[in-house]
Chain A
Amino acid sequence: MRSRRLVGGLAALATIGLFTACSAPADDAASSGELPTGQTISVWTFGATGLEDSMEAWAEETGNTIEIKTSEFDPHHEQLLTALASGAVPDVALVETAYSSLFKPSAKYFTDLREYGAEDIEGDFLDWRWAQGVADDGTVIGLPTDVGGMALAYRTDLFEAAGLPSDSDGVEGLWSSWEEFVAVGEQYTETTGEPFLDDAGVFFQTVYNQGDEKFYSADGSELIYESNPQVQKAWDLATSAAPISANLAAFSPEWNTGMANGDYAVQLAPAWMLNYIQGQAPDTAGLWNVVTLPEGGGNWGGSQMTVPKEAANPALAYDMLSTILSPENQLEVFTEFGNFPSTPELYEDPALTGFTSPFFSDAPVGLIYTESVQALEPVYEGPKERAILREFGLGIDRVESGDETPAEAWQSTLDAVALEVE
């Protein structure tokens, strides 16, 4: 009886084996150099990458399907962490720059994209953006998406109503420094009784991102958040702007509503923010304009698209990434959505530099963001970058809501950061 059961079991195993063999054309195809079709590529993102349509187009062309899961910013990275630890991973996952230094030491959890020829396209991308996806041991964990060059978007109609100039030359002439910018904001709020800015936290991040050092020293050896004059400056400006801020937490539903309603006049805008504005406030087309920032450019955001180690279809995933992040496609994404390319060969291309956006009153956004990005130097971001930034954001929130004075909040923020980094 026992032996009969054994035979039965073997037969069942053999059957399973047969089925498995039948349903595994993917491996055969890969070994013959062709990419498999009919596969589902799962992609985890946060926010709007501007790449969704490109992914769909790639899938259609190659006979595969795409499944995109979009989460909020921090939860997305938390889920990715759990997924990496458990092995139940997507084929492609976005990792934002502030988080990349947290994930890079765990490079063995990602597919080394050099296996699929990533080195061949390294030259297409900005050096420092490329380096954000390279671990210490040389593993390429991800390909760069966009660059968050920064500018300033404002509502022409609201500026006009407040008696301010509304054309771009006039607005740029209003201020040559951030202090003057805040002064104009105070004047605006006094005249209209309405807030000038969306969120002092966004203001902090903008100024903080203009520095050549952030919370870590340039060589990454020490934490300088307490002594870095750029951080101090960003803090002072942001907290001084509390009275002119609508105190809407960026990326919250209230913020979206406020943006669509015109509850505030100025939106500090990394290039990808243009995508947000067009998505959240489609009825405000033509009411915005974009000008350069006071005190120079900077980078806010941008991501790497990674392929986790246990991904089901790494070869297909890489094929998709190298297609949708190619210079040609990044140009298309920029003209359609606003996410700015990370491929410098385009910065000479009139199709980019000459691009104007009708949504933003035909502002020369191509030129504005190109200039913002071209002067950029790489800035070191450490493993606790995001955690520290979050505490600074909370500190500014405490000032905005009147819980604490700027001096109290500075001290409580330093205390909170100390607990995070110890």
Chain B
Amino acid sequence: MATPALVAESSALRARGPRGRRRSLTPYLYIAPFFLVFGAFGAFPLAYTAFISLFDWNPIGEQAFIGFDNYVDLVADPRFWNAAWNTVVIWVLSTVPQLAIALVLAAVLNQALLRFRTGFRMAVLVPNITSVLAVGIIFTQLFGRDYGMINTVIEFFGGQRIDWVAGSFSSQFAVSTMVMWRWTGYNTLIYLAAMQSIPRALYESAEIDGAGPIRKFLTITIPQVRPTIIFTVIVSTIGGLQVFAEPLVFGGQAGVTGGQSRQFQTLALFLYEQGFRNLEFGYASAIAWALFLIIVVLTIINLALSSRIASEK
């Protein structure tokens, strides 16, 4: 009895052959947008950049194959190491305080007694949706040597005016503040979300044991949001190593070189200088790949650290 039905069904399937095939295509179509977009804006540029990096490539001129010469030159180029060092310094200067402040802010916003909580939570995200160029222009004016507000305040309190752009540390500090200002709120919200999933019972039992707010923050909140901290560290690493617009605007006329002594030229700026200013697209592509590798290495180190922390727990 079951047999004819089966036969009928399978013959029906066979009859609907093309449609059956179409049905098996459906899941691929659903995920196709991601792969198409990733292919066009991720994989293809990556591969094409690798290809160009093997050439002496002038976009409106000659293009000659030179093998790995660009990479050999890059390793010997002091400007590259200078930019790499600046990038790391700016990354550390901006990320460490940024994440620390974000943690504290999130803990404050997580207080049940705080009034206008939603308002504050929205407010911390405002810097992040501000145009990076606007941030750059405003901060550059604040840090201005002759007419900047920060110098005016310093002078009011009897200090010496600082030529923020000209100095090495001062300029890196100024650029870091811009990065910090934009991203602290974003990390705050991520921490806040993590903190809200911490069971209240933990805090309650700690209170019974007589723990104060600081004690609770250090021994409950931070260990509980540790995986989130690791996530934000990785995301900040990827973003922080590609800092571009802030130092570009901050440097004004000498923005692309990151100041008169390349004192705050990041890797992304160095890439731009070589590619779009000097028409050395091959060399710029080699820099792009070096930057990519640096980010991969640092991310792997981060991951290794994070899995060790997780297993310790």
Instruction: Tell me if B147 and A397 are in contact (CB < 8 A).
Output: no
Q: In the complex, which residues 262-286 of chain B have their Cβ closer than 8 Å to any Cβ of chain A? A: 276-279
Cβ of A419 within 8 Å of any chain B Cβ, yes or no, is: yes
Instruction: Tell me if A254 and B147 are in contact (CB < 8 A).
Output: yes
Instruction: Tell me if B278 and A387 are in contact (CB < 8 A).
Output: yes
Give the CA-CA distance A82 to B281 in the complex, in Å: 11
Give the interface segment out of B8-16, B92-100, B106-114, B249-257. Answer: B249-257
Residues of A within 8 A of B185 (CB): none
Give the CA-CA distance A404 to B252 in the complex, in Å: 21
Q: Which residue of A lies closest to B146 (CB)?
A: A254
Instruction: Tell me if B144 and A82 are in contact (CB < 8 A).
Output: no
Distance in Å from the Cβ of A6 to the closest Cβ of chain B?
A: 20
Q: Which residue of B lies closest to A82 (CB)?
A: B276
Instruction: Tell me if A81 and B144 are in contact (CB < 8 A).
Output: no
From the candidates B145, B276, B277, name the one contacting A254 in the complex (CB within 8 A): B145
Cβ of A84 within 8 Å of any chain B Cβ, yes or no, is: yes
Give the CA-CA distance A401 to B253 in the complex, in Å: 15
Instruction: Tell me if B60 and A74 are in contact (CB < 8 A).
Output: no
Cβ of A403 within 8 Å of any chain B Cβ, yes or no, is: yes
Contact with B along A57-79 (1 / 0, CB 8 A): 00000000000000010100010
Instruction: Tell me if A403 and B260 are in contact (CB < 8 A).
Output: yes
Instruction: Tell me if A401 and B166 are in contact (CB < 8 A).
Output: yes
From the candidates B60, B166, B257, name the one contacting A81 in the complex (CB within 8 A): B60
Q: How large is the interface on A (under 10, 10 to 19, 20 to 34, 35 or more residues)?
A: 20 to 34
Q: In the complex, which residues 125-173 of chain B have their Cβ closer than 8 Å to any Cβ of chain A? A: 144-147, 163, 166
Instruction: Tell me if B61 and A394 are in contact (CB < 8 A).
Output: no
Instruction: Tell me if A84 and B60 are in contact (CB < 8 A).
Output: yes
Contact with B along A389-422 (1 / 0, CB 8 A): 0100011011001011000000010000001100
Residues of B within 8 A of A74 (CB): 256, 277
Cβ of B312 within 8 Å of any chain A Cβ, yes or no, is: no
Instruction: Tell me if A81 and B252 are in contact (CB < 8 A).
Output: no
Cβ of A46 within 8 Å of any chain B Cβ, yes or no, is: no
Total A-B contacts with CB atoms under 8 angstroms apart:
63
Contact with A along B61-102 (1 / 0, CB 8 A): 100000000000000011100000000000000000000000
Instruction: Tell me if B146 and A250 are in contact (CB < 8 A).
Output: no
Give the CA-CA distance A39 to B248 in the complex, in Å: 36
Instruction: Tell me if B261 and A394 are in contact (CB < 8 A).
Output: yes
Residues of B within 8 A of A395 (CB): 260
- Contacts A102-B279, A254-B144, A419-B77; is A85 near B59 (CB within 8 Å)? yes
Residues of A within 8 A of B260 (CB): 394-395, 397-398, 401, 403
- Contacts A81-B59, A81-B60; is A419 near B79 (CB within 8 Å)? yes
- Contacts A81-B60, A401-B260; is A249 near B278 (CB within 8 Å)? no
Q: Which residue of B lies closest to A249 (CB)?
A: B253
Distance in Å from the Cβ of B287 to the closest Cβ of chain A?
A: 14
Distance in Å from the Cβ of B143 to the closest Cβ of chain A?
A: 12
Give the CA-CA distance A137 to B261 in the complex, in Å: 39
Residues of A within 8 A of B256 (CB): 74
Instruction: Tell me if B252 and A249 are in contact (CB < 8 A).
Output: yes
Give the CA-CA distance A419 to B278 in the complex, in Å: 12
Distance in Å from the Cβ of B230 to the closest Cβ of chain A?
A: 39
Distance in Å from the Cβ of B40 to the closest Cβ of chain A?
A: 16
| Chain B: interface residue total (CB-CB under 8 A) | 24
Instruction: Tell me if B145 and A78 are in contact (CB < 8 A).
Output: no
Q: Which residue of B lies closest to A251 (CB)?
A: B253
Give the CA-CA distance A109 to B58 in the complex, in Å: 13
Give the CA-CA distance A103 to B147 in the complex, in Å: 38
Residues of B within 8 A of A15 (CB): none
- Contacts A254-B145, A403-B166, A403-B260; is A106 near B60 (CB within 8 Å)? yes
Give the CA-CA distance A252 to B252 in the complex, in Å: 7
Give the CA-CA distance A252 to B148 in the complex, in Å: 14
Residues of B within 8 A of A85 (CB): 59-60
Q: Which residue of B lies closest to A402 (CB)?
A: B166
Give the CA-CA distance A85 to B60 in the complex, in Å: 6
Instruction: Tell me if B254 and A397 are in contact (CB < 8 A).
Output: yes
Q: In the complex, which residues 18-72 of chain B have their Cβ closer than 8 Å to any Cβ of chain A? A: 58-61
- Contacts A257-B147, A401-B260; is A420 near B59 (CB within 8 Å)? no
Cβ of A358 within 8 Å of any chain B Cβ, yes or no, is: no
Residues of B within 8 A of A248 (CB): 146
Q: Which residue of A lies closest to B248 (CB)?
A: A75
Residues of B within 8 A of A253 (CB): 252
Contact with B along A366-399 (1 / 0, CB 8 A): 0000000000000000000001001000110110
Cβ of A193 within 8 Å of any chain B Cβ, yes or no, is: no
Give the CA-CA distance A403 to B171 in the complex, in Å: 14
Cβ of A9 within 8 Å of any chain B Cβ, yes or no, is: no
Q: In the complex, which residues 24-83 of chain A have their Cβ closer than 8 Å to any Cβ of chain B? A: 72, 74, 78, 81-82
Residues of B within 8 A of A250 (CB): 253
Residues of B within 8 A of A78 (CB): 276-277
Residues of A within 8 A of B277 (CB): 74, 78, 387
Interface centre among B146, B257, B260 (most CB of A within 10 A): B260
Cβ of A105 within 8 Å of any chain B Cβ, yes or no, is: yes
Distance in Å from the Cβ of B249 to the closest Cβ of chain A?
A: 12
Known: A257-B147, A419-B77, A419-B78. 10 other contacts (CB 8 A): A106-B58, A106-B61, A248-B146, A254-B145, A394-B257, A394-B261, A397-B260, A398-B260, A412-B261, A419-B79
- Top 8 nearest A-B pairs (CB, nearest first) are A397-B260, A85-B59, A401-B166, A106-B60, A78-B276, A249-B253, A394-B260, A398-B260
**Contacts from B to A (Cβ < 8 Å):** 58-61, 77-79, 144-147, 163, 166, 252-254, 256-257, 260-261, 276-279
**Contacts from A to B (Cβ < 8 Å):** 72, 74, 78, 81-82, 84-85, 102-103, 105-106, 109, 248-254, 257-258, 387, 390, 394-395, 397-398, 401, 403-404, 412, 419-420
CB<8 Å pairs between A and B, sample of 13: A72-B253, A74-B256, A84-B59, A85-B59, A106-B60, A254-B145, A254-B146, A257-B147, A258-B146, A387-B278, A401-B166, A401-B260, A403-B166
